[in-house]
Structure formats: C-alpha cells, structure tokens
Structure 1
Amino acid sequence: MNDRQNDLRVQGLAKSYGREAPVLRGLDLTVPGGALAAVLGPSGCGKTTLLRVVAGFLRADAGTVALGGRTLVGPGVQLPPERRRVGIVPQEGALFPHLSVARNVAFGLAGTDRGERRRRTEEMLDLVGLAGYGDRMPHELSGGQQQRVALARALAPRPGLVLLDEPFNALDSALRAGIRADVRAALRATGATALLVTHDQQEALSTADLVAVVRQGRIAQCATPQELYRRPADPWVAGFVGDAVLLPGTVGDGGATATTPLGTVALAAPADGGRTGTLVLRPEQLRLTDADAGEAVRATVTDVCFYGHDAKVTVTVEGLDAPVDVRVAGPLPVGPGEQTGIRVTGEATLHP
C-alpha cells in the first residue's frame, strides 16, 4: 500500500481565528502513502480547520504540511490550492448543477487532450460504478450517486491526496455502509492517499486504515482501528471511540493483574505493583453468569436495551458509583430487577 511519493506529513500546525483561542495547537500527523486516514473528534476540535489548511483554503499561523516530500505549507511557503495535487470531496457532493455528470468529472482535466479527457472521465465513472451515466444531470441522480460523481471528479486529475469532508452525512443510514465501501475500494484502486474527516466513530473504525483522534487541536492518538479500540491512549479516547467500562483498580504483585470491583483483571501491559489507576474495558468483555457462580461478582440489572443483533444490559455493582453496561448476544437471560453474576474476559488497559 505504502507509496512514499504520496506520504502526508503535518508538523506543528497551529491556527487561530482572530483573538479566539487557538483551534490547532501544534498538531502533528503522518499518513503513509496510499493509506486512508480518518480524522475523528468532537465538534470544534479542529478537524475541518486541518482539512482546509491542507487544502490551501486557510493559511496556517505556524507549522508545515508536506505531500510526498514536497512542501505545501511552511515558512515562506503557501502553495495555492490548484498547485497542491489535492482532490476534494465536499459534503453533499457539491456538483455543478448546470453541467452533465461527464462534464463535472472532467472539470479538473482542463488543458488535457479532448480524447484523453473523455477516456479518463469514462474510466473514473466506471471505477465508481456509474458507467453510462455521463449524459445525466446532477438532479437526476440520487444522493449516493452524486457522492460517487464527486469522488470521480476528485480522482480524475490523479491527485496525490484526496480530502473527504464528512461526505456521507446527507445519506440515509441504509446507504452509508455501501457507499463507504465503494469509496474505499475506488481510493485503493487509484493508490491515492486520503484524509476522511468525520464525527462518526463507526464510520472511522470500519473504513479507515488509520484513525487520528483530535482533542483540542492536537492528535490525542493515531493508530489502526484495532489498536485504537483495544489499547486507547487514555480514558477520554476510550470513551469517545466506542463504549467504555471504566473501573478503579490496584495493580497486584508481579504487575500482570489488577484488583477491581469486578474482580481480578488481566492487564494488557505489565505495571508496577501497588499502583492505582483507571482500567478500561469494553462492554463485550463482560459476561453475564449465574449470580452464585464461584468467580462471578454479583450485580443487579437496572435496564435492558434490545437492538436485535445484541442487547445492552445495564447493571449496578457494589463498590462502583456508576452503572456498568454489558453487551449480550443471543437470548437475554435476565430482566430488570433480577440478580446476575459478572465475569471479565480479556485484558484491560491501565491509566494511572
């Protein structure tokens, strides 16, 4: 996958708007060539500002942006957007309503031979599953089809980097998964590096090769989706990316386990004995058992939310101030008000 000609490197990026507090505070991010990285974070954290600085629509106060070793932003350097080899897929497609699908896709190919322009347009429409749609107008397309055209338009000039600004927001939830898979496949087919800005955790985890979580203008953690979910950098990241169970714990002798209100829990990394901190687990690591089972901790069911493919069972446990959520697959063994046992499986991360 890695094409070093398209590596994206952002270092020390800072940006403020007037006298307001800085939006970007020395942000660092590296995306290997050919990878799709999702930039995930709460509203106001700096995701869109990062995208606009990389695109060239905003001027950074400090820091550098380089694509394939070529500086786009830096001291004395501010390449205009049209010279950056960066394609953009905005929210809701933003197609030119007065141009046909083919002319929308060919918009960025000005200056190329007419025959080559036609061939490249057809190639891109075929890549996004819209072969034969060139003569249609944007208003004749569904929302998902418009997003595919926007992607084809962004890819047509062979950019080194594609920026996707929450491109699936306007789509029905039933369409999103299919469109996301198609977009991912098209990006991989062209080898372009991509940056997807989103606030949707599931979208980031299921679509991207890397997920960068932004908190207050900096990257809190950047890792593969599996690493981010299993070993979050801190409890905030854990709670933002998926559901988290936070437990107080004390590390036992040897540092391999910790004692918690849910019993003894194995640690993902060894720690100093006697150390206290917060343990992070995921709801699917908890199992409901018989209330009188030997190794189980007794709990009381307070709520059950049934989702079809699974259910969330909320319980209270002596020694814990907050209730605990347990994700259960299959038939529900308990209901509100009943007693149950809880057993922990797998490893937890410890955060002092």
Structure 2
Amino acid sequence: MNDTNELHIEGLTKSYGAGEPVLRELGLTVPAGALTAVLGPSGCGKTTLLRIVAGFLRADAGTVRLGDRLLSGPGVHLPPERRRIGIVPQEGALFPHLTVARNVAFGLTGTDRAERRRRTEEMLELVGLAGYGDRMPHELSGGQQQRVALARALAPKPQLVLLDEPFNALDSALRTGVRSDVRAALCATGATAVLVTHDQQEALSTADLVAVVRDGQVAQCASPQDLYRRPADPWIAEFVGDAVLLPATVDSYGTARTALGPVPLATPPGGPSAGTVLLRPEQLRLTDTDSEGTVRGTVTDICYYGHDAMVTVTVEGHDTPVGIRVAGPLPVSQGEETGIRVVGEGSLHRGGGLRG
C-alpha cells in the first residue's frame, strides 16, 4: 500500500471564539488504504475535525499531513481544491441540474472528453450503477444517490476520502446494503478513508479501525474487535455497546468476586486488587435457579428484537439491573425468577483503564 496516502494528525486544537476548545491537541493516524471511523457523541468535535482535514476550517494549532505533504500547520493552510481529498457529504448533495454522469465527471478537470467518459463509466460500474449515467438525481433512490456521491469523490483518484455521516438519511432497510457497497468500492480502489459517524453499529461493522473521540481528543483507536473486547475505560465500554459493569474484588488467583459470582480475568492484575469488571450481555446465560454455579435474579423487563432479545434482571447485592442478550426462543417471562451464569473472561478497570 502507498504510504503517501497515510493521514497523520498531531496536536490539533480548535476553538470557536472565546469558548472552550472543541479539539484539544487531538492526534490520529489513519494508515494508507484503511477505512477509519471517527466515532463519538454529538458535540465531541467529529465534524470540526473533518472540516479541518478537508481544508474548510483553519486549526488554531497542530498539523495535518497526508503522506509527505503538509496540509495544515504553522503558517500553512492548503486550500481544499489542492488537498487531493474527496468528500462524500450527508444526503449525497448531488447537483440536481446535472445528469448522473456529469455529476461523477464534475471533478475531472484537465482531462480530455474520452478519458472523462471512460473514468465516469468505470466509477459507475464500481458502485453498481452502470447504465445510470443519463438519469437525473431525482430519478434515483437515496441509496443510489449516495453511491453516485461516492463515485464522484473517487473519480479524481484522491489520496483521501472523507465520508460525513453519509448514511444518516437512509432508512434502516437500505443502510446496511449501502454501507457494504461503499466499503467494497473503497477497498477496490485502495483508497484511504475516514468515516465520521455517531452510530456505533455502523462504525464497528464498516471500519478497519475505530477512533472514539471524547471531549475533543481521541480516547481510544483500535480495531472494532479490540475496541469492543478491550475498551480503555468504562465510558468507552458503554459507548460502543451494551456493557455490564460490576464492582469486584480480585483474589490472589486472579479471579474477580462479583454479584454474579466469580469471574476469571483475561489479564489478572498480579495480586489482590479491587475495581470494576466489564462483561458484555452475550457473556451472561439464563439458567435454572438451582443450576450449579449460578446466582438468582428476577426478570424485570424484556425487549424483543426478533433475532434476539435483551432481558433485564435484578440481582440481589447489585444496585443496577443487568442486561442479558438472549438468542432464540425466550426461556423466561417478566417477573419470573431465573438463574444467571457468566461465560468467558472479564476485563478489570482500576481507575486508569480496563485490563484484558
């Protein structure tokens, strides 16, 4: 993969007026050819970060490099049109008076007509819209418009593609398919890409890396699996998925004693300790109340989703009800007593982060 397409951000700081900084010395590296999701709650600085990388905003401090080119830094602010960055905005933002083909070819300046036509047809085929060149944007579905927007962004062969919450306007039935199509197209071109989103499922299912932004800084950047299984702290654990957090004491054998019974730790602390153990709802099983190795609880709520259900259970000795993800037929009813058993290992949080 070409390292000239690696995005490297260091010490990025940005404030609006006299207010608190939106970005606080943020650092992030996006490897060449990777799709990295920037995930965070509203107001955390995601959009500000994207606009600075694109060149629409000036940073107060810090640097943005794309390969060996300095895009933004002390005394340097390359304008957007010189950055070789493609942008896929929310809702496509196609030119309504231009055909699909002319939308895609819009950024292909400086090339002859035959090359523009060839590149346009190549991009439309890549996004699954071969033969749609003569249509107008209003004749397309929302998902098709987003694929045209991606084709337009990829046509000039940019070093980097920025996707600004591009699936927000799509209904849930379309979203999964369009996400898959977009990822396949990016992989086919080898493009480096940054996807800005507040949707945890979207980030985990689409990206190679996920950078969680909190209060203007990257709190953790990891693969989706590592982020879900080994979050850096309880806030991240709860933000990227459903979490069961249990106060615990750890014995000299590395086993955590919790309200749900003993829990082995993926990375024991090396001696007696105390903290908070993280489990995921799919690590809990409903069992008979008299089964060995279980604790008892009472079912207080059931949320049924079809493919699975979230069963909420109150447990004596634990103030917060725990969520248990159940696949298949429901073995319990609301108000019923049940047993709970832990499967697998937990992660221990002791102030600075989660171990394991």
Q: TM-score, normalised by structure 2?
A: 0.97
1:277 is matched with 275
- Is contact 1:250–1:274 with CA below 8 Å preserved after alignment? yes
**1:331 Cα offset (Å):** 1.4
Q: Which amino acid aligns with 1:5?
A: T
2:353 is matched with none
Q: Which amino acid aligns with 2:173?
A: A
For 1:26 and 1:241, locate their aligned partners in 2 and report how far apart those are by CA, in whole Å: 23
1:86 is matched with 85
Which stretch shifts more, 32-41 or 301-310? 301-310
Which secondary structure does the structure 1 equivalent of 2:276 belong to? strand
- Is contact 1:3–1:32 with CA below 8 Å preserved after alignment? no
**1:349 Cα offset (Å):** 1.1
Which secondary structure does the structure 1 equivalent of 2:346 belong to? strand
2:142 is matched with 143
2:309 is matched with 311
2:66 is matched with 67
For 2:34 and 2:278, locate their aligned partners in 1 and report how far apart those are by CA, in whole Å: 29
1:331 is matched with 329
Mapping 1:1-352, distance limit 5 Å: 2-254=1-253, 256-352=254-350
- Is contact 1:314–1:324 with CA below 8 Å preserved after alignment? yes
5+ long unaligned stretches in structure 2: 351-356
Which stretch shifts more, 292-301 or 176-185? 292-301
5+ long unaligned stretches in structure 1: none
Q: Which amino acid aligns with 1:172?
A: D
**1:148 Cα offset (Å):** 0.6
Which secondary structure does the structure 2 equivalent of 1:347 belong to? coil
Spell out, residue by residue over 1:205-236, the C-alpha distance to the aligned partner (whole angstroms, 9 max, x if none). 00000000000000111000000000111000
Spell out, residue by residue over 1:164-218, the C-alpha distance to the aligned partner (whole angstroms, 9 max, x if none). 0000000111000000000000001111100000111100000000000000000
Spell out, residue by residue over 1:58-105, the C-alpha distance to the aligned partner (whole angstroms, 9 max, x if none). 000011111112111111211111111100000000001111111111
Identity of aligned residues (%): 78
- Is contact 1:91–1:166 with CA below 8 Å preserved after alignment? yes
For 2:270 and 2:177, locate their aligned partners in 1 and report how far apart those are by CA, in whole Å: 47
For 2:260 and 2:323, locate their aligned partners in 1 and report how far apart those are by CA, in whole Å: 12
**1:272 Cα offset (Å):** 3.6
**1:4 Cα offset (Å):** 1.2
**1:3 Cα offset (Å):** 3.0
For 2:228 and 2:175, locate their aligned partners in 1 and report how far apart those are by CA, in whole Å: 22
Which stretch shifts more, 62-71 or 46-55? 62-71
2:354 is matched with none
**1:263 Cα offset (Å):** 0.8
Q: Which amino acid aligns with 2:59?
A: A
State the aligned residue count: 350
For 2:181 and 2:345, locate their aligned partners in 1 and report how far apart those are by CA, in whole Å: 35
**1:54 Cα offset (Å):** 0.2
**1:274 Cα offset (Å):** 2.4
Q: Which amino acid aligns with 1:339?
A: E
For 2:4 and 2:255, locate their aligned partners in 1 and report how far apart those are by CA, in whole Å: 45
Q: Which amino acid aligns with 2:308?
A: D
For 1:3 and 1:261, locate their aligned partners in 2 and report how far apart those are by CA, in whole Å: 51
Say what the alpha-carbon RMSD is for the aligned residues: 0.8
For 2:204 and 2:328, locate their aligned partners in 1 and report how far apart those are by CA, in whole Å: 24
Which secondary structure does the structure 2 equivalent of 1:136 belong to? coil
- Is contact 1:251–1:272 with CA below 8 Å preserved after alignment? no
Which 4+ residue blocks in structure 1 deviate beyond 4 angstroms?
none
For 2:2 and 2:242, locate their aligned partners in 1 and report how far apart those are by CA, in whole Å: 35
For 1:100 and 1:333, locate their aligned partners in 2 and report how far apart those are by CA, in whole Å: 55
**1:266 Cα offset (Å):** 1.1
Q: Which amino acid aligns with 1:85?
A: R
For 1:77 and 1:180, locate their aligned partners in 2 and report how far apart those are by CA, in whole Å: 35
For 1:88 and 1:61, locate their aligned partners in 2 and report how far apart those are by CA, in whole Å: 23
Which secondary structure does the structure 1 equivalent of 2:16 belong to? coil
For 2:339 and 2:240, locate their aligned partners in 1 and report how far apart those are by CA, in whole Å: 27
Which secondary structure does the structure 1 equivalent of 2:193 belong to? strand
